[in-house]
Structure 1
Amino acid sequence: MHGEALQDRARQRADELPSAGWEQPFGPEWDVCKVRGKVFMLMTIRGGEPIVTLKADPEEARALQSEHADITPGYHMNKRHWITLHPGGSLTTALVDELVTESYRLVVEKLPRAQRPIDPATFGLE
């Protein structure tokens, strides 16, 4: 996935997720997607390159980084729990959708049960 197509696809997938909403709490250069007030995705331009930062399971994050040159530790985030996607050849639409959904699920599962818009144990796994 190249250039702005990465951010466009990530935004499109996030917009499909229940209770997801956009804010710019860090200024107009950062688009932040939250569920019930908790961040699960950030997008900005870094060095002229559109990037997407997502929450990830630490073991999965390490595996993704070793498999894909276009996935690095989270920019400006905890490097263990967040990853950054860069435009490039190895990221497919399906992978971007999967990573956005997983980031969302990881955040939702930490919410109090009464605030969860979905069941994180089953959502996106059907």
Structure 2
Amino acid sequence: MNNIEDFRDYCLSFKGATEKFPFDKTTLVFYVMNKMFCLVDIEEFEYCNLKCDPDEAEELRAQYNGVKPGYHMSKVHWNSVYFNSDVSTKLLKELIVNSYDLVVKGLTKKDQAALNEM
């Protein structure tokens, strides 16, 4: 994903995914059922923040130069994944899916049921 349009389209392709600018005019946040699963700066477009299992987050940071502790996020549960790095597009897409799935698993049963009905 070389540009913000492709990135945005991919993030919005997930069931129930929505987008907002809750913090400022450049930080685009993707949600599922009002829970964040991805953040990206639309002007700089250098990296995105993704939710991650804490153990996997540490492994990814050790394995890839392009994976860092989440910038302005919980360093335990979020990673910053840099686009022009040793992280392939395939891996980036997998990490976005993982982030989405983690958030969905954390939803209430009511929200999960509502999501399944979409």
Class of the TM-score when normalised by the shorter of the 2 chains: 0.7 to 0.9
Q: By how many angstroms is 1:89 displaced?
A: 3.6
Q: How many residues matched?
A: 114
Q: Deviations over 1:61-113 (max 9, x none)?
A: 00101111001000000001000011224121211111001001111111112
Consecutive unaligned residues of structure 2, counting only runs of 5 or more, are: none
Q: By how many angstroms is 1:60 displaced?
A: 0.4
Moved over 4 A (4+): 6-9
Q: Deviations over 1:7-43 (max 9, x none)?
A: 5554232111000001000011100000111111000
Structure with greater helix percent: 2
1:35 maps onto 2:35 in alignment: no
* Higher RCO (C-alpha 8 Å, min separation 6): 1
Decide which of 8, 21, 25 is 1:11's aligned counterpart.
8
| Contact 2:11 2:17 (8 Å CA) reproduced | yes
CA distance in 1, matches of 2:12, 2:45: 22
Question: Normalising to structure 1: TM-score of the pair?
Answer: 0.81
Q: Which amino acid aligns with 1:99?
A: L
1:52 maps onto 2:48 in alignment: yes
CA distance in 1, matches of 2:21, 2:55: 30
* Percentage of pairs with the same residue: 32
Q: Secondary structure at the match of 1:66?
A: helix
1:75 maps onto 2:71 in alignment: yes
1:97 — aligned with what? Answer: 93
Give the direction of change, closer, same or farther, for the CA distance of 1:68–1:100 in structure 2 (3 Å limit): same
Question: Over aligned residues, Cα RMSD in angstroms?
Answer: 2.0
Q: Secondary structure at the match of 1:75?
A: coil
CA distance in 2, matches of 1:10, 1:62: 24
Give the direction of change, closer, same or farther, for the CA distance of 1:14–1:76 in structure 2 (3 Å limit): same
| Contact 1:10 1:52 (8 Å CA) reproduced | no
Decide which of 37, 55, 60 is 1:64's aligned counterpart.
60
Q: Which amino acid aligns with 2:41?
A: T
Q: Secondary structure at the match of 1:39?
A: strand
CA distance in 2, matches of 1:70, 1:90: 6
